[in-house]
Amino acid sequence: MASSSTGFFQALPALPNQYTSDTNLQHAIEFFLPRSTIDKAAPEWESFGSKMVSEEIFDLVRDAESHKPYVMSHNVVGRAINKLVTSHGWRSLKRVGQESGLMSIAARREYEENSRVVAFVYHYLFSASSAIVNCPLAMTDGCASVLAQYSSHIKDSREIWQRLTERDPDFAWTAGQWMTERTGGSDVSATETLAVLDNDLCARRGEDNYYRVQGFKWFSSATDAEVCLFLAKIKEGNAVDTSLSCFLGRLIPNKAAGHVRIHRLKEKLGTKALPTAELELNNFEAQLIGGRAQGIKVISSVLNITRVHSVSATLGFYARALSMAREYAKVRQIGHGSSAQSKRLIEVPAHMKVLAHESLRLRAFTYLMLYCAELLGKSEDRELGLGKGLSPQHYRLPDYGRPDPETELSRIMPGVTKALVARETIQGISECMESMGGIGYMEDPGSVEYNLARLLRDSQVNAIWEGTTNVLSHDLVRFIRKNATVVLAGLDQLVADTIGQGEVNIKDHTLDPVACGNGDDAVGGDATLDSLRDTLQSRMEEWQSRITDPQFNVDGSQSRLLITALGRLVAGLLLFADTVRGGRVSQSRSLEVDANIDPVKLEVLARWVLADEYELCENRDLDYMIVYGMDKSELLQTVSKL
């Protein structure tokens, strides 16, 4: 008999360390980073992965989620104060991010040329426990990069850069980015905000680029930031520029002088702790950055960075949702009515198939995320001379005159990856929710660590901000049309570096057709590494011929299919390289096959490349290895002790 306090209560295990329990992440790290870097970073990641699921952090998340930000409009004597109030949890989580080096590692090249990859591992581990602090940190990262490129004539640029990239939270600042207006966020050309040069201010400040700005910004998420980058049109007399310019403003003095007013905070589906506001600018003081009418070029470098952050954030949610689903499957018993049929969810093949499917998708996406991070780091090193211990005033301006294939890939891959991953993650988190039944749907403050619903709500925004899927798709097609030679050369180089060129004998590695139980003639049953390689190669050729086909309509509905196809294809190339080489992409073009190919990697590769075609032949026993990194008997032994 059951009562509110007696009878059956479902056990709920504590979530494991988010770094050590994530086998997908471990494999991707080993692929992208040299051993010396992993040895240096791993102890820190391990302690961060443990902290992210600690009671201390979950208390802060609970506080941030349950005390939404608000605007205190007036003081007791009726004077307008327009003060933003955020929660203790929100402010503390921001400090955790800064102290952990999320801003400093990449910007200050703490791990030299591997800093971007190392930093994005942290961002991935942080996002699900950050209550969306990851959003202002992403914009801060982008702003620091812009300052590194365009520091000349920006007052106190060195100090601002140092504060944005600082570990000490008492000294650190964050930055916001205001692009979206009521006229549109996808297309900002109709921006209504105007900037007028203020000669008196220029004389007082000793620079010739100080402007007064009037306008209304429709979305500002980092409303508690100290600095901001935004777009406006310069007005001179009655003439208004048609092109946009980018400006850097400081919020503390502007707020104090009443030059920026929070019109209201937005009511949103998710991202509840994030103070997303509408802002009115009135004589707002700001400095032109990066040159007149160069706004889109300047802000594009922010977008490229924030898109990789969107990817790491949403994959962090996905990884956490999967972590919950994995732990729950270990303890949830079904078929209680008959003890003969009673078993744990991990013993149900259909359930394991679902978790394996999600796990391998997450693995492919994680490789894409770190690939974007690597490309970003390389292009910054090349263009800015970062990684050589230079300080901002020594940075060179980027040389856009000499396109380089890998630099061009670094411009497209963040958008490609975000377009693919942001949407697929929503579906994946939803699948994890269903796998936990009704518990997955709950928003119980008593178990904030198992609040999967919050992750589903918060993941939705990643498909909208920093470019919707269709907008990214059209941008990609247009960009490739304009820069076809160099982008396609970049993709050809990637193909050569991952799946090799010319003849190689890898036919010995036939995927085991017996495992599917349907014999040799089953669909996909004769897949070999060679055939997987041929499939990837021919898909890339087909993709390239489609995108360069003059008949192809760039504004048509096919753009979206092309962008997601490219994302899948690049993930397949990376998984292939990891399977055959068992490690980092080599600079050598010759394909050296590792004799001891990991059967789990091979299985993941085949499932990813052949998808539904291979479904019939999947090796079911490997589901356990894909999901838990151990075989069935080992897993059952482990859970019997729970």
Ligand X SMILES: Cc1cc2nc3c(=O)[nH]c(=O)nc-3n(C[C@H](O)[C@H](O)[C@H](O)COP(=O)(O)OP(=O)(O)OC[C@H]3O[C@@H](n4cnc5c(N)ncnc54)[C@H](O)[C@@H]3O)c2cc1C
Q: Which spans of this chain sit near ligand X (rule: CB under 6 A)?
A: 176-180, 184-187, 219-221, 268, 271, 276, 461, 464-465, 468, 470-471, 474
**Cβ 47 to ligand X shortest distance, Å:** 31
Is 261 or 632 the residue whose CB approaches ligand X more closely?
261
Is 185 or 629 the residue whose CB approaches ligand X more closely?
185
**553-557 contacts, C-beta under 8 A, 24 or more apart:** 554/474, 554/477, 554/478, 554/481, 555/474
Which stretches within 183-294 are classed as H helix?
199-205, 251-256
**Cβ 185 to ligand X shortest distance, Å:** 2
**Angle at the Cα of 571 (from 580 to 457), degrees rounded to 5?**
140
Is 193 or 407 the residue whose CB approaches ligand X more closely?
193
**Cβ 210 to ligand X shortest distance, Å:** 23
Q: Are 99 and 357 in contact (CB under 8 A)?
A: no
Q: Which residues contact 101 (CB under 8 A, 6 or more apart)?
A: 110, 119, 122, 167
**Cβ 468 to ligand X shortest distance, Å:** 3
Is 79 or 482 the residue whose CB approaches ligand X more closely?
482
Closest residue by beta carbon to ligand X = 185
**Cβ 188 to ligand X shortest distance, Å:** 8
**Cβ 99 to ligand X shortest distance, Å:** 23
Q: Are 52 and 487 in contact (CB under 8 A)?
A: no
Is 176 or 414 the residue whose CB approaches ligand X more closely?
176
**Cβ 465 to ligand X shortest distance, Å:** 4
Q: Which residues contact 446 (CB under 8 A, 6 or more apart)?
A: none
Q: How far is CA 33 from CA 29, 245, 307, 567, 587, in A?
A: 6, 38, 22, 21, 14
Helical (H) or strand (E) element with 194: strand 194-197
Q: What share of the chain is helix, strand, coil (3-state, %, to 5)?
A: 55, 10, 35
Q: How far is CA 165 from CA 36, 173, 435, 511, in A?
A: 24, 8, 40, 48
Is 231 or 529 the residue whose CB approaches ligand X more closely?
231
Is 355 or 461 the residue whose CB approaches ligand X more closely?
461
Q: How far is CA 379 from CA 301, 403, 404, in A?
A: 11, 11, 9
Amino acid at 206: G
Closest to 571 measured CA to CA, from 529, 612, 532, 608: 608
Amino acid at 414: P
Is 468 or 493 the residue whose CB approaches ligand X more closely?
468
- Residue 333 DSSP SS3: strand
Is 176 or 215 the residue whose CB approaches ligand X more closely?
176
**Cβ 270 to ligand X shortest distance, Å:** 8
**Cβ 217 to ligand X shortest distance, Å:** 7
Q: Are 432 and 325 in contact (CB under 8 A)?
A: yes
**Cβ 381 to ligand X shortest distance, Å:** 28
Is 101 or 295 the residue whose CB approaches ligand X more closely?
295
- Residue 176 DSSP SS3: strand
